[in-house]
Chain A
Amino acid sequence: MSTYSLSDGLASGAPRLSRAPLLTSWVRESGVGILASVAWIAFGLSCLWWEDVGDWSRTHSLGIAAFVIAAVALFGTVGADYLGSAGRALRQRAPWLVVLGVVLTLWEVATAKFAWLPLPFFPPPQSIIEVYTDDLPKLLDSVLASVKLQLGGYLIGATVGFLTGVSIGWSRAVGYWVHPVLRFIGPLPATAWLPIAFFTFPSSWSASTFLIALATGFPVTVLTWSGVASVSNAYYDVARTLGAKPSFLVLKVAIPAALPHVFVGLFMGLGSSFAVLVVAEMIGVKAGLGWYLQWAQGWAAYANMYAALIVMSLLCSGAITLLFSIRDRLLVWQKGTVKW
């Protein structure tokens, strides 16, 4: 399958490079890391050089921190060969470090120093740091409330969705009754239930749990069902001739074969349940990151909003990473059969 092209020849053109000065290869390996260091020094200088146009308490610390990062980038790059895998990881991420440093410098200059961007709406980096240090307890409470609500609703929705999906995929009778209901209710965005849910459920917490479970349950049900329904009859034939009872066919044939589909459903459910979580917190629940965002907006505390948004995106991407790593562990047999 391998084709030989000119670029291959250049990349592996060792004989030609052997006479080239050591400097060139050094620059090629470490240049980006050094550039990253320069970018972060620029960021640090941009913090300390000019006076702030507003009153922020963390400008000085942020500048120092930028210099520390610049130093780490520099020494990490120069000494990468002695740092093992950490050194390799740093080299790999160096281009991103450059971009981050440049963006932060521009952001700093455009907001805190010259106010090119209108000020209360575009807070400088140090004011976001200020939120993390000064408003930490409230932010942590919100994170905890969001995680609790999301986890509860998601687990209930995923479990119910999985069991429903397997049942309608397996049993014609269950399919007859559940399928039309699913067709009718499923496509409705879970947020449409919001007004009804909040006055029918005893608490806003149970109402939100229900909505998150609903948003998770629909895609999980549909994909589990299609996964079970698409299992080749040949597998059942083999298992039956070997003496398998119906319970074995469900647990050891249908479910493992459907698992790749189930994980697609779990992934989709995760995405739509995040949306419901934030909306539910903004409207009904008096806790969580969605509520924090709403509260910050009420006080025109824009730095707090950005801070909460950053935390939220870290949590969401963390949840998806976690789901993927569980999938990779359970579906290790797929490696080599599908493009991973």
Chain B
Amino acid sequence: MVAATALAEIDAHLAAGAALDIEQVSHAFDIDGAEVPVLSDVSISVEPGEFVALLGPSGCGKSTLLRLVAGLDKPRSGTLREDEARITRPYPSRVVVFQDPTLFPWRTVWDNVALGLEAQGILKSQRHRVDAALDLVGLASFRNAYPHQLSGGMAQRVALARALVNDPKILILDEPLGKLDSLTRITMQAELVSLWQRKGFTTLLVTHDAEEALVLANRVIVFSDRPARVKADIRVDRPYPRHRGDPYLADLRRQILGLLGLDATW
């Protein structure tokens, strides 16, 4: 499905993953004058090229952590570093794919993918990268379509292409598959793994699906309820492609669900 030349194009720009250091980060929101803590003393050190899944109860502050990593918000205390450089603002080496594709409805698919290059003022000389990214997610034939003409899975693929065209060193995924139907979801999980393996970027994935975390990541970090604290840091030492029925993964899954307080159900 993916043209070999397109791959070569992308690989020419290949940027290996960056290291990410989250050091004693705490954060809080002001809601009606009251301070609501969301992150409490979170420290995570991510190796270059690692695929880390962040798992935790709904509303525990995982997404807030991602916004801090992206540089969209500043933490109340603590520091975040990308390859030793302090993160203070958004930068296209750290690109986020959100739960909603958030494609710009007034732009065609191609123009949506071109957004990052255009914003950085390098689109004119780098147009081929947009085509290559669209090839990569298999949507080259939809380049002139408008977002409302796409299915949910296709829209999320475009959002992925829009992120990948920037050759991020850290790809930040905020439940990107959360709203897809289960079949599309499984397909896209496999695509994510192969993209990650091919390009070597560091990946941070927020999910509330333990199975998804175990199939995709080589490290799963489990958070407590709000304010989020790191409750467990689990290595998943299994080769890819992983099998959903793998008893090793099933065992880990039971452990994780236990950590999340769901052991009674399983």
Residues of A within 8 A of B (CB): 232, 234-235, 237-245, 248, 252-253, 256-257, 259, 331, 333-334, 336-337
Decide: B92 and A242 in contact? CB cutoff 8 A: yes
The A-contacting residues of B in range 85-120, CB under 8 angstroms, are 90-92, 94-96, 98, 100, 102, 104-107, 115-116, 118-120
Q: Report the minimal beta-carbon distance from A334 to chain B, rounded to whole angstroms.
A: 8
Give Cα A243–Cα B166 distance, bound, in whole angstroms. 10
Give Cα A256–Cα B70 distance, bound, in whole angstroms. 25
- Main SS at interface, chain B: loop
Which chain A residues border B105 with CB–CB below 8 Å? 333-334, 337
> Chain B 69-88 against A: per-residue CB contact (8 Å), 1 yes, 0 no?
01110000000000000000
Which listed residue (B71, B95, B148) contacts A337, Cβ 8 A?
A: B148
Query: Looking at A234, A240, A243, A252, which has the most chain B CB atoms within 10 Å of its CB?
Result: A243
Which chain A residues border B116 with CB–CB below 8 Å? 242-243
Q: Which residue of B lies closest to A245 (CB)?
A: B119
Give Cα A252–Cα B111 distance, bound, in whole angstroms. 11
Give Cα A245–Cα B94 distance, bound, in whole angstroms. 16
Which listed residue (B70, B72, B94, B148) contacts A336, Cβ 8 A?
A: B148
Decide: A242 and B119 in contact? CB cutoff 8 A: yes
B142 at interface (Cβ–Cβ under 8 A)?
A: no
Q: Report the minimal beta-carbon distance from A305 to chain B, rounded to whole angstroms.
A: 46
Give Cα A337–Cα B106 distance, bound, in whole angstroms. 11
Which chain B residues border A244 with CB–CB below 8 Å? 115, 119
Decide: B106 and A257 in contact? CB cutoff 8 A: yes
Give Cα A241–Cα B165 distance, bound, in whole angstroms. 13
Decide: B106 and A237 in contact? CB cutoff 8 A: no
Some 19 contacts from A to B, beta carbons below 8 A apart, are A234-B102, A235-B102, A238-B96, A238-B98, A240-B72, A241-B71, A241-B95, A242-B115, A242-B116, A243-B116, A248-B119, A253-B104, A257-B104, A259-B106, A331-B106, A333-B107, A333-B146, A333-B148, A334-B105
Q: Report the minimal beta-carbon distance from A331 to chain B, rounded to whole angstroms.
A: 8
Which listed residue (B98, B106, B107, B119) contacts A243, Cβ 8 A?
A: B119
